[in-house]
Structure 1
Amino acid sequence: MGLAKRIIPCLDVKDGMTVKGVNFVNLRNAGDPVELARQYSDNGADELVFLDITASADGRKTFTNMVSKVAQVINIPFTVGGGINAFEDVERMLNAGADKVSINSAAIKNPSLINQISSAFGSQVCVCAIDARKEDDGEWYCYIKGGRERTPLKLLEWAKEVSQRGAGEILFTSMNHDGVKQGFANEALAMLADELPIPVIASGGAGKREHFLDAFTQGKADAVLAASVFHFGEIAIPELKAYLSAEGIKVRI
């Protein structure tokens, strides 16, 4: 049956608090990230992702302190991203206790950073996040700067390059689906899964437990990431895993 599929809560952190938006805007408070991390770890999450969405130097310090606190209260792997622009940022996050780092804008601006991270720490440490939007011409284009700036890069081409440069997995967020809770971009996910030799994490679109099932079956995702449905108590991870297991999906119970 292969590896177990993973369920990954994602926490967007701003000024030391967890926030959540829709289509990358309209943020609302979702609680203390350290306490949420502890709860998710205790309740059966397989991994966690933390994204620092405060770009200031003060935000960096706050976020690094939070990473250290999270490392002390959980016993599952966690990834950190946001504001990681250079090799030194990667070292800082790993030294603070993170297991992996996620890079997005920095990877597009400086692709060799992927090679650097995987060479120094192993490919499993480097998660390449790709925010992409399907445009009117039917093509998926990659965005940077938190979804504010479109690049000429197309999703599949960039994903292949990322894989070739040594990234350990890809975190693909469909901007069209983010926060809308109508399901994941399963066609695009399946395309990536078929074309890439590394795991693909689905992000953007979780609204009900059936959406997770579809991402694993139709989208062929290796892991599914979600935020608001977990933060606001709409889906409990133990019940979600029990449902997926009953539907034939291999998960860690």
Structure 2
Amino acid sequence: MLRPRIIPSLLIQDNGLVKTVNFKNPKYVGDPINAVRIFNEKEVDELAIFDIDATVKGLEPNYSLIERIANQSRMPLCYGGGVKTVEQAQKIFGLGIEKIALSSAVLQNPQLITQIADRVGSQSVIVVLDVKKKLFGGYEVYTHNGKKATGINPFKFVEDAQKLGAGEIIINSIDQDGVMKGYDLSLIDKVREKISLPLTVLGGAGSLNDIKQVIDKHGIIGVAAGSLFVFKGVYKAVLINYPSFEEKEGLRQK
């Protein structure tokens, strides 16, 4: 039976685990391998890992780090960062990753969605859109860690991605990133209206109640969070955490 998924989101920069606010000022919070081991013990639903250097610096995916993470992980993994070709995607799948997250490359070449889906299956192809509110209303997709405006309407693009064979959409709110004041519920509603694909939302979780609010409204959805699962308390002490089995079941019940 399909159920809502509660997903820690980890950002990698210079092989370290970092956290940002509004996609800016990355703060080092630890070793990603250690974080994966801790999340193993906490039996998380799924883990999303994004290399925020790869696209900005034009780098290949860090296959060595990806392999180390996959070898340690006992949970489904989604990896994104620097994937531009079918061959790169296949190599990453060969290392033990279940899902590939695509962003900048498919905004430039949407057909890449179909090409990778034809090779590995739609269920493994995830399209990630980093979205920011426009000054006079509406939303726009950004790339390069929120620095480069694309002029792309996210609601139109998710429809196109679904037609091209994407298996899931991740919507990441740049405005809410790291702020820990709740998800952009209006953004989530608008995306959900446009697609029937599995949807995961990211950006803004400050409490388990924020997660429950999304699940209560949208049911079977992926709810991802970064700061909530790596920080603890008002002073944001670094502490890898995740809901207990009982807490998670409570979040899934209306």
TM-score normalised per structure 1: 0.90
List, as ranges, runs of 4+ consecutive aligned residues in structure 1 with deviation greater than 4 Å. none
Aligned equivalents of 2:137, 2:98: Cα separation in 1: 36
Aligned equivalents of 2:32, 2:251: Cα separation in 1: 31
For residue 243 of structure 2, what is the amino acid of its counterpart? P
Given the alignment of the two structures, is residue 245 of structure 1 paired with residue 249 of structure 2, yes or no? yes
C-alpha change, 1:153 and 1:221, in structure 2 (3 Å) is farther
SS at match of 1:237: coil
1:12-51 aligned at under 5 Å gives the runs: 12-51=11-50
C-alpha change, 1:243 and 1:149, in structure 2 (3 Å) is same
Residues 118 and 166 of structure 1 are in contact (CA less than 8 Å); yes or no, is this contact kept in structure 2?
Answer: yes
**Is the deviation greater in 215-224 or in 6-15?**
215-224
Residues 215 and 252 of structure 2 are in contact (CA less than 8 Å); yes or no, is this contact kept in structure 1?
Answer: no
Give the drift of 1:214: 1.2
The aligned residue for residue 226 of structure 2 is 227
Aligned equivalents of 1:101, 1:8: Cα separation in 2: 15
Aligned equivalents of 1:109, 1:187: Cα separation in 2: 27
Q: Percent identity?
A: 29
Cα deviation code 1:53-93 (max 9, x no counterpart): 22357x646x3111111222222110111111222221221
- Structure 2 residue ranges without an equivalent (≥5): 234-239
For residue 25 of structure 1, what is the amino acid of its counterpart? K
The aligned residue for residue 120 of structure 2 is 121
Give the drift of 1:219: 5.2
TM-score normalised per structure 2: 0.90
Aligned equivalents of 2:107, 2:33: Cα separation in 1: 30
Aligned equivalents of 1:139, 1:230: Cα separation in 2: 30
C-alpha change, 1:104 and 1:175, in structure 2 (3 Å) is same
- Structure 1 residue ranges without an equivalent (≥5): none
Aligned equivalents of 1:182, 1:146: Cα separation in 2: 20
For residue 82 of structure 2, what is the amino acid of its counterpart? G
The aligned residue for residue 10 of structure 2 is 11
1:171-182 aligned at under 5 Å gives the runs: 171-182=170-181
The aligned residue for residue 205 of structure 2 is 206
Residues 116 and 125 of structure 2 are in contact (CA less than 8 Å); yes or no, is this contact kept in structure 1?
Answer: yes
For residue 88 of structure 1, what is the amino acid of its counterpart? E
Q: How many residue pairs align between the two structures?
A: 246
Give the drift of 1:154: 0.8
